Every structure is written in structure tokens, then in C-alpha cells.
């Protein structure tokens, strides 16, 4: 069998106000409530609500054969509650079907794994508690921010009770001749790994409406045919996993409704389920379905799902990003020493990876994607506002 | 006595110090009973007959074309801004070279391409195109137009002498002198050497030299500038007089301290451009940060080196202690001065430099580049070579470690600056006018 494993990332950061030096010390809220509420409502209307409806209908229609997984960040849940509670309700309805898996991650969608282990573990625990309290769900699969992964992450996650699988990117430089369709183990063989099949996942997420793409338009028929051709090992009776991981906002927000993305999703399960050797699975089921010795993969250097480099350069390549994040984690340390919970919450909201993504100055193809997501005119401005926020935070601490 | 004065800047038309200097100077000249017909780079062909000191704020205008003037006089304006807009005085605070009309062009173009659903990519293409359509040529074109206009004023107005400020208006002054036969005073607020930190634009340099050569008298804003004029432009020293700029702070300002940061706050205030030495400020900050990580460094202003400084400051890993304000309006300048302890002016070459005086008026302790004119007029400030960042850092450290000393020097500086008045400088200018006129009368009668 070949199982299609859908995982959708649901995330919204707290975007910053255009903070000036002269605003420092005036007790101003750093986050642009107007903008954040506007974006949450827009994405709710264009993506979350309609897509959730489609998925719910599909799950009901195929009576348990269609499955998806979500990773929903704490900052997204908080903003749903504040600005669009019906979205949270519709996610709860989906989880209640029993066919939806929720993944664990850092509450604030942060890069803390790379900078502060204690902070990382705390954010993971916070997120697990949130999934428990909001959805009554106990998470068993972990995805780190932006699918950032390296060997040492698996050691940390293995230590946390209950996590059995980690998702990450199927990076060529790690896989080399291997296929991302197999279920793997981490380097120490203590935890399972599922790798994103980026060619096909990105066909949906990035290329779906690209008229310059030779395969445009992407029809369900064509796509399922491609999937069909992946099943060579099936003859040996091996269970494979086609991991289609992407931002949930792909549906209706990055790819507008007019592109036909909703119709694509509506008809995709039918075509898959028509074929007896194809099906759907959730990430947590994969290791039980893997009917072969899972090979161990070592990731000595960090990888991610971002940009063509699939490394950390989207968040951590220029001096602004590095100075900003190092200053943040120093500050988090100071705040912990003083034990100020209120300031820690603010600092955590500033730990969301998007803040550093907005400061990225890489250009060409990827620069475009960065600009699309940025609420600021330039990376320079993003940095200036961010550093002003950190200066204010430090002033509040003293 | 009546003066035909040409200047490129006058409030509200301000880019840098020139406009403010002209404002203070003209007001003080009016107080001495000197009449000024002021010509600015306006869209309409107008001049501003200033007779009373308050006229510098009212800016009464006369259109050369009588019919247009009748229309103008009968026009009802809600406020002064609307009236100045009618005349075509546009405010352009960013840089010396960005002219009001270019802004209008940018605005007009933007109106055409800016639609609700414009992509970021498309917008950038347009912005790039607009930038490429503007250049030095636009400035020279504007200077050409301004120069030709001077002929009208020279023929139609009645005046005793001509006074021009900086190279953009030298050609106009020269033409007016040639037509009217009245003596010409050129006033040097900055030379191309200062702006470029070296020879700079050859064309500008030659225009400057022509103006100085043709002038009957040259006024330099400092000894420092006079030296520059003698060595780089080879101008007859007998022709040069020094009149330091002065400074008057409106009483409306609140000058009491109002801190932003608990830690010591060190300020750079000015255009972020080579001439002002922002990179030396950063070097100093980097050294001080190692000793006093609690100190904040504020870079206030905008300029062509802004981005470079932003990136460099991030690379120096000064954490959240090196901050940028972007463009500040008058009120915000006041706020940032009230929040600062130490002001540093590391200019590579500063003919005068009014900002340290302003800072000192707020009781902020000033560290001033020796390569500046302003260092000639104040005593209660530290004077350091702009390149000596070690000494600059040591001085800042010393002031941080001795806050009482810092405060004491700040207060002494404040007292000193309060005594500097435009009246004294205007009196010197009046004497220069008088002697120029008498020499002129002597030469025409003989």
C-alpha cells in the first residue's frame, strides 16, 4: 500500500506595530491588534472555514478512510479565540471525528530548539497542554517549527514521554539515493521519522496556480497518476508513505479559491480511494504500518522546509537576524531570572520565527515569498521595530 | 538698506541647516532695519518682500506678473500652508537633492500605477523606474531655471546689494550682479568638499569657485570654512569674512529632561551620510558597549548610509542598545534631545554644524568633531578629532562613569549656548554690507 499522509500547518504570528524609539517606555502594546485581527478574519473567511468544511464533508463521506493531520500553534489558537472563535469550533468538530491527528510543536512557533533547550522544552509542554485543554487530544507526533530537524532534536523529543514520531523535510543532501516514501528512524533508532515528499507537496502548495509551470493546470487525474507511478515497491508488499506537508493557508489564501484549489481537494480523496493500493494514513499510524526494517537516518546539520536551500538561512543568515535572536534569548534568560511571567509571555510572542523571517534579505525566488508574507516594507524596518520592542521589554524588566 | 537675497532653503522649505540659518539670519537683519527681498525656488515667479521681523513667518509674496498678483491677492486661503502651496513652495525634508517637484513627479506617477491589487513585485518595478527617471540632471535643470529667473528680479526690483547662499544660488546672484551692477555677497554654509568628504562633483566645485571669484565679498560660516575656501578654491583672503552662525531656540520648547531609558543615552542626530561621520559614531558605540552594556545609542535621522549603518550595527552585535529612529519631526527632535545625556557630532567635515548647539540648549553634554565650525564658538563641550574613536569612547565612558560631571558640563553648555544670538552675527553682516557698499560706491564714482 501507499498511504497519502496529509499534514497541514496552521499558524499566525503576532505581527508587530511600527514601533519608534520614542514609543519606548510608554507602555505601548507591541503587537498590531488591528492588523492581526484583520488577517485572522481574512484567513478565516478565505481558508480556515471553507477548507475545514470541505475536510469535514470528506471525512464523513468516506467513513474514516480519509484522514488528515494538523499542527496548530498556540499563537494561532489564541488569535482564533480573540478574533474568530468559530474557526476554533470548526477545528474541534474536525478533531471530534477521530480521523484527525494533532501534532505537537512549540507553542509560539519558535526557534528555541536552536538557542535555548529549557525554553524549547517549556514551549513544547505548553503546546501539549493546550492541545489537551482545547481538543482533549494527547499528541504523539512532533513537528518542529518549519520542519527544522537535526539529530539532537530527536534526542530531546525522545526524552519527552509519548512522542513516537517526528516529521521533517525530505532533504536531498540527507536522503541521497534513498526515497522519502519509506518510514525511517532517527540516527539512534529511538524514534520514527517521516519525510516530506517536497516535489509533490510543493506542486500543490507553490505551483498549483503557476501558469509558467509546464504541468499547469494541475488536475486530480494527473496528480493521482503521478502518485500511482510512485508505487513500484508495492509489489514487494511494502507500505509506503507519501508525506504531503504544507501550510494550511495554501487552501484559499496562498492559492485563491478561483485557482480551483478547493475543487482539487474535494475530488482528490475519491481518486485515491478508487485504487485499492492507495489510501490515507495519519503520521502516528505510520510506524505501525511499516512492515520492514526502518533504516536510520542521520541529520548532523539542521534542515528545514524553507526556500531552495532547505536550511536555516531564511531566519538566521544575516546580521540583523542573528543580533535580534541572540538579544531575544539573552533577554528571555534575564526575564526568567526575575521570574516575571507577564514579560515572559511577551518575550515568547517575540520568539515566533516569523519575526526573523521578515528580516530576511535573501533575494531572487525566495525573496518574493518572504515579501508576500511580510507586513513591513522592508527587512530593515522589520528589524528596527523588533529591536525597539526588545529595548522596551528590557526597560520594563529593570 | 535693501538686499536681494537668493537662497534654496527657507522654512518651511528645509532640507538641512541652511534653511534654519537663513531664517535666523534674516529675522535678525530685519530687526536691524535691513529690508530683504527673498527669492526661493518656487513654482511661481514670486519674491517675498520681508520688512518686519515677523515677516519671516508670514512670508508675504508678490507675483512679478501683475495679473497673477491680482488673482493671488483676491484668493482666499484657509491657512499659510495652503497659500504657500498655491505659490509652489514644497516641503522636502529628506535630502538636499530631493526637490519638491521631483516629489510631485513621484506622487503623480504613483497615483497612476497604485491600484488596489498591485503586487509587491509590480510596485517595486515602478519604484525602480521612478528612481531611475530622477537624477542630478533634475537639480541642474532646476538651478538653470532659477538662474534665468534672477534676471527678472535684477531688472524689476530696487535693491542695494545681492546676497546668495551656497552654490545652488550662486549663478543667480552672478547674473543679478551682471544685470544690476550691484555688489554681490556669497555666503558659504557648506562646500562640495564638506558634503562629499573630498573633491566631490567637479561641476559643483567649479560653480562654487565661479561664484566666489565673481563675488565682491565672501562670507564663511567659520574659520574652518574660510581655511577650506582658501586652500581648495584659492580665493583672495582679503575678500573673505567670517560670520559664525548663531542659534535661537523658540521659548515654546520644553527643555527639562524626560528620559526614555534608565541607562545613559548617547545621541547621533543628523543626516546619516558620509559628511556626518555616522560610522565613527558606531565604532565609538561598539567600544563603549563593551565597558557599559547598559548604555543606549540612538541614531536619529535618515540618509544614504542608513541601511549600511543598520547592517553594520547588527554585525557589531550591540544587542538592543543601538537603535534607529528614522525621520523625526521637530516635536520628536525635542523629545529625543530631552531623553539624551550625551550628544556626539563626529562629522568628517562640518562647515558649521548647528545641531550640537541645539543639543547643548537642552543641557545635553556635547562631544564635537574638531573638523567643525561650531567647535570655534563653544567652550563647554569636548572637541575631538572625528577619527579618534578611542578618545571619543574614553570620553563617553568617563561621562557615563561620572554622571554628575556630565550633568554639570551639560548645564554649563546650556548657559553658554543661551548667550549665542543671531543679533550679533547679523550686526557683523550689516558691517560687511556697509563696507562692501562703500567700496562699491568708491569704485563706481572713480
Three-state DSSP state, A243: strand
Average pLDDT over residues A367-384: 75
DSSP string, A167-216: EEE--HHHHTTS-TTS-EE-TTSSSEEEEE-HHHHHHHHTTTT-TTSTT-
Domain B2-94+137-242 part of CATH 3.30.830.10: no
Average pLDDT over residues A48-64: 96
Q: Is the peptide bond between B12 and the residue preceding it cis, with omega within 30 degrees of 0? A: yes
Average pLDDT over residues B144-165: 95
Q: In what order do the strands lie in the sheet with B2-6?
A: B62-63, B46-50, B35-39, B2-6, B161-165, B184-188, B217-220, B240-242
Name the percent of chain B lying above pLDDT 90.
67
B123 touches chain A (CB under 8 A): no
Question: How far is residue B368's CA from residue B378's CA, in Å, rounded to a whole number?
Answer: 10
Residue B22 grid coordinates: 537663513
Region of A310 please: left (phi>0), alpha (psi -120 to 50) or beta: left
Chain A residues in contact with chain B using a Cβ-Cβ cutoff of 8 Å: 20-22, 24-25, 318-320, 322-324, 326-327, 330-331, 368, 371-372, 380, 383-384, 387-388, 390-391, 394-395, 398
Question: How far is residue B63's CA from residue B116's CA, in Å, rounded to a whole number?
Answer: 41
Residue B16: its pLDDT value, please? Answer: 67
> CATH for A2-289, among 3.20.110.20, 3.40.50.2300, 3.40.50.1970, 1.10.4100.10?
3.20.110.20
pLDDT higher than threshold 90 for residue A229: no
Residue B97: its pLDDT value, please? Answer: 41
Angle between helices A117-135 and A74-83 (to 10 degrees): 40
Residue A102 grid coordinates: 494533532
Q: Which residue of A has its CA nearest to B260?
A: A25
Question: How far is residue B446's CA from residue B434's CA, in Å, rounded to a whole number?
Answer: 18
Residue B6 grid coordinates: 537668493
Residue A186 grid coordinates: 532517527
Compute the mean pLDDT over every residue in chain B, rounded to the nearest whole number. 90
How many C-beta atoms surround the C-beta of residue A156 within 10 A?
Answer: 16
ipTM of predicted assembly, 2 dp: 0.89
Contact across the interface for B298 and A387, Cβ inside 8 Å: no
Angle at B181 between CA B176 and CA B184, to 5 degrees: 60
Name chain A contacts of B326, Cβ cutoff 8 Å.
Answer: 20, 384
DSSP string, A24-43: TTTT--SB-HHHHHHHHHHH
- Among the partner-chain residues B259, B319, B325, the one whose CB lies closest to the CB of A20 is B325
Instruction: Provide the pLDDT confidence category of residue B113 given band limits of 50, 70 and 90.
Output: confident
pLDDT higher than threshold 80 for residue B312: yes
Three-state DSSP state, A299: coil
Three-state DSSP state, B328: coil
CATH number of the B265-418 domain: 3.40.50.2000
Residue B101: its pLDDT value, please? Answer: 52
Residue B152 grid coordinates: 527678472
Q: Where are the domains of chain A?
A: 2-289, 319-397
Tens digit of each residue's pLDDT (9 = 90 or more) over A276-333: 999 999 999 999 999 999 999 999 999 999 888 899 999 999 999 999 999 999 999 9
Residue A246 is given by DSSP the state E
Q: Is the peptide bond between A217 and the residue preceding it cis, with omega within 30 degrees of 0? A: yes
Tens digit of each residue's pLDDT (9 = 90 or more) over B35-56: 999 999 888 899 999 999 999 9
pLDDT higher than threshold 80 for residue B161: yes
* Contact of A291 with A237, CB cutoff 8 Å: yes
Spell out where chain A has E strands.
2-10, 68-72, 100-102, 141-143, 165-169, 184-185, 192-196, 240-247, 278-280
Name chain B contacts of A398, Cβ cutoff 8 Å.
Answer: 262
Name the percent of chain B lying above pLDDT 70.
93
Compute the residue count for chain A: 398
Q: Where are the domains of chain B?
A: 2-94+137-242, 100-129, 265-418
pLDDT higher than threshold 60 for residue A245: yes
B299 touches chain A (CB under 8 A): no
- Among the partner-chain residues A323, A368, A395, the one whose CB lies closest to the CB of B319 is A323
How many C-beta atoms surround the C-beta of residue A213 within 10 A?
Answer: 13
Q: Which residue of B has its CA nearest to A370?
A: B120
pLDDT higher than threshold 60 for residue B96: no
Q: How many helices (H) and strands (E) does chain A have?
A: 17, 9
Residue B130: its pLDDT value, please? Answer: 73
Min Cα–Cα distance to chain A from B314, Å = 5
Contact across the interface for B120 and A387, Cβ inside 8 Å: no
The contacts of residue A397 (CB under 8 Å, 6+ apart) are A331, A334, A335, A338, A340, A343
Residue B112: its pLDDT value, please? Answer: 76
Average pLDDT over residues A239-251: 96
Instruction: Provide the pLDDT confidence category of residue B100 given band limits of 50, 70 and 90.
Output: very low
Tens digit of each residue's pLDDT (9 = 90 or more) over B181-233: 999 999 999 998 888 877 788 889 999 999 999 999 999 999 999 999 998 99
How many C-beta atoms surround the C-beta of residue B144 within 10 A?
Answer: 11
| Residue whose grid cell is 507553490 | A206
Compute the residue count for chain B: 446
Best residue in A17, A19, A323, A355 for a mutation probing chain B (most B CBs within 10 Å): A323
Residue B193: its pLDDT value, please? Answer: 87
Residue A373: its pLDDT value, please? Answer: 64
* Contact of A279 with A4, CB cutoff 8 Å: yes
CB burial of A242-277 (b: ≥16 within 10 Å; e: otherwise) equals: bbbbbbbbbbbbbbeeebbbbebbbebbebbbeeee
Residue B95: its pLDDT value, please? Answer: 35
Residue A167 grid coordinates: 516529521
Q: How many helices (H) and strands (E) does chain B have?
A: 18, 14
Question: How far is residue B435's CA from residue B445's CA, in Å, rounded to a whole number?
Answer: 15
DSSP element (H, E) containing A242: strand A240-247
Min Cα–Cα distance to chain A from B303, Å = 14
Residue A295 is given by DSSP the state P
| R_g (Cα) of chain A, nearest Å | 21
Q: Which residue of A has its CA nearest to B329?
A: A22
Name chain B contacts of A323, Cβ cutoff 8 Å.
Answer: 314-315, 317-319
- Among the partner-chain residues A320, A391, A394, the one whose CB lies closest to the CB of B314 is A320
Nearest to B369 by CA among B361, A229, B351, B358: B351
- Identify the active-site residue in A78, A105, A134, A146: A146
What is the separation of C-alpha A287 from the centre of its chain, rounded to a whole number of angstroms?
21
* Contact of B225 with B352, CB cutoff 8 Å: yes
Residue B396: its pLDDT value, please? Answer: 98
pLDDT higher than threshold 70 for residue A368: no
Question: How far is residue A258's CA from residue B398's CA, in Å, rounded to a whole number?
Answer: 66
Residue B435: its pLDDT value, please? Answer: 96
Q: Known catalytic residue: A45?
A: no
Instruction: Provide the pLDDT confidence category of residue A48 given band limits of 50, 70 and 90.
Output: very high
Q: What stretches of A6-116 show up as alpha helix (H) in DSSP?
A: 33-43, 49-61, 74-83, 85-96, 112-115
Tens digit of each residue's pLDDT (9 = 90 or more) over B248-284: 776 667 788 899 999 999 999 998 989 899 999 999 9
Name chain A contacts of B265, Cβ cutoff 8 Å.
Answer: none
Tens digit of each residue's pLDDT (9 = 90 or more) over B349-374: 999 998 999 999 999 999 999 999 99
CA atoms within 13 A on the CB side of B87: 28
Contact across the interface for B314 and A318, Cβ inside 8 Å: yes
B159 touches chain A (CB under 8 A): no
φ/ψ of A115, rounded to 5, equals -125, -30
DSSP element (H, E) containing B260: none
* Contact of B337 with B253, CB cutoff 8 Å: no
- Among the partner-chain residues A371, A380, A394, the one whose CB lies closest to the CB of B320 is A394
Amino acid at each position: 500500500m501507499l498511504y497519502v499522509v496529509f499534514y497541514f500547518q496552521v499558524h499566525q504570528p503576532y505581527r508587530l506595530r511600527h514601533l519608534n524609539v520614542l514609543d519606548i517606555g510608554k507602555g505601548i502594546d507591541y503587537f498590531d491588534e488591528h492588523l492581526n485581527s484583520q488577517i485572522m478574519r481574512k484567513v478565516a473567511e478565505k481558508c480556515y472555514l471553507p477548507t475545514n468544511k470541505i475536510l469535514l464533508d470528506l471525512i464523513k463521506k468516506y467513513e474514516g478512510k480519509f484522514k488528515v493531520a494538523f499542527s496548530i500553534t498556540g499563537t494561532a489558537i489564541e488569535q482564533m479565540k480573540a478574533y474568530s472563535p468559530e474557526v476554533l469550533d470548526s477545528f474541534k468538530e474536525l478533531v471530534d471525528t477521530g480521523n484527525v491527528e494533532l501534532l505537537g510543536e512549540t507553542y509560539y512557533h519558535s526557534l528555541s530548539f536552536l538557542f535555548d533547550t529549557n525554553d524549547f522544552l517549556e514551549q513544547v509542554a505548553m503546546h501539549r497542554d493546550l492541545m489537551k485543554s482545547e481538543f482533549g487530544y494527547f499528541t504523539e507526533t512532533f513537528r518542529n517549527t518549519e520542519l527544522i530537524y537535526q539529530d539532537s532534536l530527536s534526542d530531546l523529543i525522545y526524552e519527552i514521554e509519548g512522542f513516537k514520531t517526528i516529521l521533517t523535510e525530505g532533504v536531498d543532501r540527507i536522503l541521497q539515493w534513498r526515497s522519502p516514501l519509506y518510514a525511517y528512524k532517527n540516527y539512534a533508532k529511538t524514534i520514527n521519522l517521516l519525510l516530506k515528499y517536497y516535489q509533490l507537496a510543493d506542486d500543490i502548495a507553490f505551483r498549483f496556480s503557476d501558469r509558467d509551470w509546464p504541468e499547469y493546470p494541475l488536475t486530480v487525474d494527473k496528480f493521482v497518476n503521478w502518485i500511482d507511478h510512485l508505487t513500484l515497491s508495492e509489489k514487494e508488499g511494502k507500505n509506503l508513505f507519501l508525506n504531503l506537508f504544507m501550510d494550511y493557508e495554501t487552501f484559499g489564501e496562498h492559492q485563491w479559491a478561483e485557482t480551483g484549489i478547493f475543487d482539487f481537494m474535494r475530488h482528490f480523496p475519491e481518486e485515491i480511494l478508487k485504487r485499492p493500493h492507495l489510501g490515507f494514513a495519519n503520521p502516528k499510524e505510520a510506524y505501525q504500518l511499516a512492515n520492514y526494517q526502518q533504516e536510520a537516518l542521520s541529520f548532523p546539520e539542521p534542515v528545514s522546509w524553507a526556500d531552495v536551500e532547505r536550511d536555516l538561512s531564511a531566519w538566521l543568515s544575516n546580521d540583523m537576524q542573528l543580533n535580534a535572536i541572540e538579544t531575544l534569548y539573552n533577554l528571555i534568560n534575564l526575564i526568567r531570572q526575575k521570574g516575571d511571567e507577564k514579560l515572559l509571555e511577551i518575550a515568547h510572542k517575540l520568539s515566533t520565527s516569523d519575526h526573523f523571517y521578515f528580516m530576511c534579505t535573501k533575494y531572487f525566488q525566495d525573496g518574493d515569498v518572504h515579501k508576500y508574507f511580510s507586513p513591513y516594507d522592508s527587512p530593515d524596518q522589520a528589524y528596527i521595530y523588533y529591536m525597539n520592542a526588545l529595548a522596551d521589554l528590557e526597560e520594563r524588566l529593570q | 538698506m535693501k538686499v536681494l537675497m537668493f537662497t534654496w532653503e527657507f522654512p518651511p522649505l528645509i532640507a538641512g541647516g541652511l534653511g534654519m540659518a537663513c531664517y535666523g539670519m534674516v529675522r535678525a537683519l530685519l530687526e536691524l532695519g535691513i529690508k530683504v527681498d527673498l527669492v526661493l525656488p518656487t513654482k511661481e515667479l514670486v519674491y517675498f518682500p520681508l520688512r518686519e521681523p515677523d515677516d519671516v513667518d508670514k512670508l508675504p509674496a508678490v507675483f512679478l506678473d501683475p495679473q497673477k498678483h491680482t488673482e493671488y491677492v483676491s484668493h482666499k486661503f484657509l491657512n499659510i500652508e495652503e497659500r504657500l502651496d498655491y505659490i509652489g513652495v514644497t516641503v522636502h525634508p529628506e535630502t538636499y537633492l530631493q526637490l519638491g517637484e521631483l516629489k510631485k513627479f513621484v506622487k503623480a506617477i504613483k497615483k497612476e500605477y497604485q491600484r488596489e491589487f498591485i503586487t509587491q513585485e509590480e510596485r517595486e518595478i515602478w519604484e525602480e523606474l521612478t528612481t531611475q527617471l530622477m537624477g542630478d540632471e533634475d537639480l541642474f535643470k532646476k538651478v538653470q531655471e532659477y538662474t534665468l529667473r534672477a534676471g527678472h528680479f535684477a531688472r524689476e526690483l530696487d535693491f542695494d546689494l545681492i546676497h546668495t547662499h551656497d552654490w545652488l544660488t550662486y549663478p543667480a546672484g552672478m547674473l543679478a550682479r551682471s544685470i544690476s551692477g550691484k555688489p554681490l555677497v556669497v555666503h558659504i554654509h557648506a562646500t562640495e568638499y564638506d558634503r562629499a568628504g573630498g573633491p566631490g562633483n567637479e561641476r559643483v566645485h567649479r560653480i562654487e569657485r565661479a561664484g566666489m571669484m565673481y563675488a565682491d565679498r565672501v562670507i564663511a560660516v567659520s574659520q574652518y570654512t574660510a581655511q577650506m575656501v582658501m586652500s581648495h578654491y584659492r580665493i583672495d583672503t582679503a575678500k573673505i569674512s567670517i560670520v559664525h552662525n548663531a542659534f535661537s531656540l523658540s521659548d515654546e520648547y520644553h527643555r527639562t529632561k524626560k528620559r526614555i531609558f534608565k541607562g545613559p543615552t548617547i545621541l547621533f542626530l543628523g543626516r546619516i551620510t558620509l559628511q556626518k561621520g555616522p560610522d565613527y559614531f558606531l565604532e565609538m558605540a561598539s567600544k563603549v558597549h563593551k565597558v557599559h552594556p547598559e548604555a543606549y545609542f540612538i541614531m536619529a535621522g535618515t540618509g544614504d548610509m542608513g541601511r549600511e549603518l543598520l547592517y553594520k550595527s547588527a554585525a557589531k552585535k550591540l544587542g538592543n542598545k543601538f537603535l534607529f529612529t528614522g525621520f523625526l519631526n521637530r516635536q520628536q527632535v525635542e523629545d529625543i534631545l530631552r531623553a539624551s545625556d550625551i550628544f556626539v557630532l563626529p562629522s568628517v567635515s562640518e562647515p558649521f554644524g548647528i545641531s550640537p548647539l541645539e543639543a547643548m540648549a537642552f543641557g545635553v553634554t556635547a562631544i564635537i568633531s574638531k573638523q567643525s565650525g561650531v567647535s570655534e564658538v563653544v567652550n563647554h563641550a569636548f572637541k575631538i578629532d572625528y577619527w579618534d574613536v578611542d578618545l571619543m569612547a574614553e570620553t563617553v565612558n568617563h561621562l557615563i562613569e561620572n554622571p554628575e560631571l556630565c550633568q554639570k558640563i551639560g548645564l554649563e553648555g546650556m548657559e553658554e549656548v543661551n548667550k549665542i544670538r543671531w543679533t550679533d552675527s547679523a550686526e557683523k553682516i550689516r558691517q560687511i554690507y556697509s563696507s562692501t557698499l562703500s567700496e562699491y560706491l568708491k569704485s563706481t564714482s572713480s
